[in-house]
Amino acid sequence: MKKILSFLFFLIFNFISGQINLPVFDSVTNFLFAKSENDKINLITKNGIFELNNQSWDYYKFQTKSFKKEIGKIGVEFSHKEYLSIQNSKDQFIVSIGGGPVFKRVKNEYIRIDNTHLHRNQVWGSFFTYNDKIHIYGGYGFWSFKDYITFFDSNIKQWDIVYNESEYIPKGRGKAISFVSNDSKLFIIGGTTISKNALYNKDNDDVFYFDLIEKKFVHIGKLATPLVSKHTLFKLPSINDNAFLMEKDSIVKFDFNRMNFTSYKKNNFNINIDNKFPTYIIDENLYFMSLENEKNALESINLNSLDSSDFISSSFPIIEQKRDRSFEVILISVLGFLFFWIILKLFLYKDHLKGLLLFDDKIIFFKNKSIKATSTEINFISDLSNNNFISAQQINKIISSKKYSKSHLTSIRNNFIDKINSKLYHLTGEKQSIIETKNPYDNRIKVYKTNITYFKPKTSFIKFLFKF
């Protein structure tokens, strides 16, 4: 009676906690964690299969030792380091992770159906099925990461390359996050590749897909930074176009229709997932292997519970969103033009200051020198800056509004010109900057002109800047 009660208590406790002890107790190297073609959790050993039914394990022993012998001939340990289980719409298979040997489940046996050898050419490749054929994208082998897709051709019992017509070929990689959508697209996220100096592996941050119908790779963009995990050893379990990735403290759901992902977390929620094993979804329960105190156990989480108030969800785009930088480009272009314009005008302004006799309301400038001038002198220089020459009569009007005799006006005018020449001599070194001459159009008229650089009104740099 005590044994029955203990057994019932054990079942109830495991059902509530979602944890189920394993029927195998020796090392991890003696079984594969798998999902059968009829959606049952399996533990496959070399001698038989443990199948989970109603929280308990049923054991089906292989009728012969042929599977065990074939595994022995291949010569590598029977574990997820060397093999994995994959199923299509009707059958379950065990495949070498490098793309070599292939076993098919036939009733209660695994029969080898390939004619290959253990070549290890696509280790860490992304396995998937399409049109019920087993495919592998990428992987590592013979000192390089592969950038192509192979498939197992059951007709010739060999692996063959899926030839493509793509101009864009993404760099080879392994351990990529992959998913095949309902519209025949193989999505690839991240994955691992070799660094430039080939000293270590690094995770990629690109996203693309391979159109399985058009046979072309299409680059989508750069992976959004909030995603923590950028690689996985196994195909992600999925429902419709949603795939699920388990991390240590969260569950990530990828929506490949909307191209976003949602991270589900809650307080004190730590998943002791053992990443040496794949994960599976059956009846909306996500099954995974946990590891605690170096002992594995089977656990499950109901995916419907992720929408409860216990979990905090955060959604992000899978692809890093490109900001509309058109305004920034225009702004930078305008600022660049203004900077260039200001620098150009600054040099021109310096030349403007150096090459001309400049004046304002009170001062005459030449190069780095200046001298004060009277308002009458400034008026004379201003008129001279606008004309090639000024007549004696015009100068007389500038000098004085009074009426003097002709001889007196001539004396005043000569004195006025001498003072200006004296001031200009201190600036330019020219003794006769203003000279007396004849009007080229009428020799009877006496005129005055400058024999040095033209006079110009001094312009501020701001005005000069916007002068075209």
Q: How far apart are CA 433 and CA 452, in angstroms?
A: 6
Give the per-residue pLDDT at 459: 59
pLDDT (average), residues 84-101: 92
Q: Are strands 357-359 and 455-457 parallel, antiparallel or unpaired?
A: parallel
- Kindly report, residue by residue over 400-437, the tens digit of the pLDDT: 777 777 788 888 888 888 888 888 888 877 778 888 88
Residue 414: closest CA among 399, 425, 424: 399
pLDDT (average), residues 238-266: 90
Exposure class string for 272-305: b at 16+ Cβ within 10 A, else e = ebbbebbbbbeeebbbbbbeeeeebbbbbbebeb
Q: How far apart are CA 91 and CA 71, in angstroms?
A: 20
Q: What is the pTM of this model?
A: 0.67
Q: How far apart are CA 104 and CA 113, in angstroms?
A: 7
Q: Is the separation of the CB atoms in 385 and 454 below 8 Å?
A: yes
Across the chain, which distance is largest between two alpha carbons, in Å?
A: 149
Tokens 């304002």, residue?
Answer: 360
CATH number of 356-465: 1.10.10.10
What single-letter DSSP state applies at residue 77?
-
- Kindly report, residue by residue over 375-409, the tens digit of the pLDDT: 888 888 888 878 888 888 888 888 877 777 778 88
Every domain of the chain and the residues it spans: 1-116, 356-465
- Kindly report, residue by residue over 103-123, the tens digit of the pLDDT: 999 988 999 999 999 988 999
Residue 358: closest CA among 463, 459, 466, 432: 459
